[in-house]
């Protein structure tokens, strides 16, 4: 399938979140945010240039577009994708990189159009936080799973049951593929939102964006009786709103850490 890439320079904070929300409503499936530059992807068949133009005019920003032929996508990211080592323990590589079995956790991730390679600060922060937790025997929910990287790590860390959920069909398929590459057997992959999950859990992992998190925190509370909520995908100046909503729904703030302007935070219940 051919895709259109929309590239927008220097957009961040609330404007970025609003833009992502509007583009998602217009059919865009995947987003990459790097150093405040946003790349958004939509199937060519679903691309409505006039609607994107209208959205960007509303936000007083400009964009460029390019066609991403399906057959060229993997070749493009393979040229630039390098392995990542997180906290000296978790080695994230693509299938074409050499294995490094000396590290406690090795994840084989082919991202395609999905978010989650550990190159972005939010994914790295989530992994760093997970590596400090005891996940053995826990039931884990990975909301907005992207490539499935966090769900796969949860299984390798000993989680007994993992649900990986994403609204994006590409992410759903990509997570299933990556689970196969990593020989995971306890990850159940579902396409949908939080309403598609009917199981209780001990840990929720949510690396999404501020607006979606604020909408879903009340639902997260329904799925955790006693456990941990890890969230990222937002900036430090959004932490107050995230905390207010979490506390309102029976979570207790534990701590947060940041990398550049991005934050991962842990709440307990």
Assess if residue 44 is contained within a domain: yes
Residues 6+ apart with CB under 8 A from 265: 230, 231, 232, 239, 242, 243, 253, 254, 255, 256
Residues 200 and 264 in one domain: yes
Alpha helices in 182-265 (DSSP H): 210-223, 239-248
Domain check: are 190 and 63 in the same one?
A: no
- Beta bridge pairs of residue 166: 191
Residues of the chain with pLDDT under 50: none
**70 falls within a domain:** yes
Q: Whole-model pTM above 0.85?
A: no
Report yes or no on 153 lying in a domain: yes
Identify whether residues 169 and 251 lie together within a single domain: yes
- Specify if 232 maps to a domain: yes
What pLDDT is recorded for position 172? 92
Residue 104 lies in a domain: no
Q: Is residue 243 part of a domain?
A: yes
Query: What is the structure's pLDDT at 17?
Result: 78
Say which CATH number the domain at 33 has.
3.30.70.600
Contact yes or no for 164/142 (Cβ under 8 A): yes
Which tens digit of pLDDT belongs to each residue from 159-186? 999 999 998 888 899 999 999 999 999 9
In a shared domain, residues 147 and 231? yes
Count CB-CB contacts under 10 A for residue 24: 19
Q: Which of 40, 58, 75 is the last residue of a domain?
A: 75
Q: Dihedral through CA 201, CA 166, CA 115, CA 37, nearest 10?
A: -110
**Would you state the pLDDT for residue 77?**
57
Judge if 140 and 9 occupy the same domain: no
Rg of the chain, C-alpha, whole Å: 18
| Boundary-marking domain end, from 75, 110, 132 | 75
Task: Extract the tokens encoding 87.
Answer: 């906290």
Are 170 and 148 contacting, i.e. CB atoms less than 8 angstroms apart?
no
What CA dihedral angle connects 170, 158, 230 and 109, to 10 degrees? Answer: -30
Examine residue 91 and state whether it is found in any structural domain, yes or no. no
Report yes or no: 127 and 153 within 8 Å, Cβ to Cβ.
Answer: yes
Q: Both 204 and 145 in a single domain? A: yes
185 with 250, same domain: the answer is yes
**pLDDT in the model for residue 171:** 87
Q: Quick one: 152 and 240 in the same domain? A: yes
Q: Are residues 255 and 188 in the same domain?
A: yes
How many distinct structural domains can be found in the chain?
2
Residue 147's SS3 state is coil
132, 263: one domain: yes
| Pair 125, 59 in one domain | no
pLDDT at 113: 59
**Whether residue 179 sits in one domain with residue 249:** yes
Q: Quickly tell me which residue has 């884990």 as its tokens.
A: 140
Indicate the residue among 45, 75, 105 that finishes a domain: 75
- Establish if 179 belongs to a structural domain: yes
How many helices and strands, by DSSP H and E, does the chain display? 8, 14
151: domain CATH number?
3.40.50.150
Total residues belonging to the chain: 269
Residue ranges making up the domain that contains 55:
3-75
Residue with tokens 């937790």: 133
pLDDT single digits (tens) 204-227: 999 988 888 999 999 999 999 899
End-to-end CA distance of the chain, in Å? 43
């Amino acid at each position: 399938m051919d895709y259109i890439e929309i590239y927008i320079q220097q957009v961040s904070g609330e404007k970025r979140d609003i833009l992502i929300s509007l583009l998602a409503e217009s059919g865009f499936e995947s987003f990459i945010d790097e150093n405040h530059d946003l790349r958004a992807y939509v199937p060519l068949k679903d691309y409505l240039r006039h609607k994107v133009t209208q959205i960007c005019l509303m936000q007083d920003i400009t964009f460029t577009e390019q066609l991403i032929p399906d057959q060229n996508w993997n070749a493009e990211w393979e040229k630039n994708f390098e392995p990542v080592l997180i906290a000296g323990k978790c080695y994230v590589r693509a299938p074409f990189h050499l294995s490094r079995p000396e590290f406690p956790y090795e994840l084989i991730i082919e991202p395609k159009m999905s978010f989650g390679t550990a190159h972005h600060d939010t994914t790295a922060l989530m992994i760093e936080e997970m590596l400090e937790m005891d996940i053995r025997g826990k039931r884990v929910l990975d909301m907005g799973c992207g490539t499935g990287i966090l769900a796969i790590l949860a299984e390798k860390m000993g989680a007994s049951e993992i649900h990986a959920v994403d609204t994006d069909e590409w992410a759903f398929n990509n997570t299933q593929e990556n689970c196969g590459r990593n020989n995971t057997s306890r990850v159940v992959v579902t396409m949908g939102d939080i309403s598609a999950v009917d199981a209780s859990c001990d840990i929720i992992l949510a690396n999404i964006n501020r607006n979606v998190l604020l909408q879903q925190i009340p639902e997260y509370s329904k799925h955790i009786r006693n456990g941990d909520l890890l969230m990222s995908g937002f900036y430090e100046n959004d932490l107050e709103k995230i905390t207010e909503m979490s506390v309102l729904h029976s979570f207790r703030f534990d701590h947060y850490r940041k990398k550049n302007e991005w934050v991962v935070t842990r709440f307990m219940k």
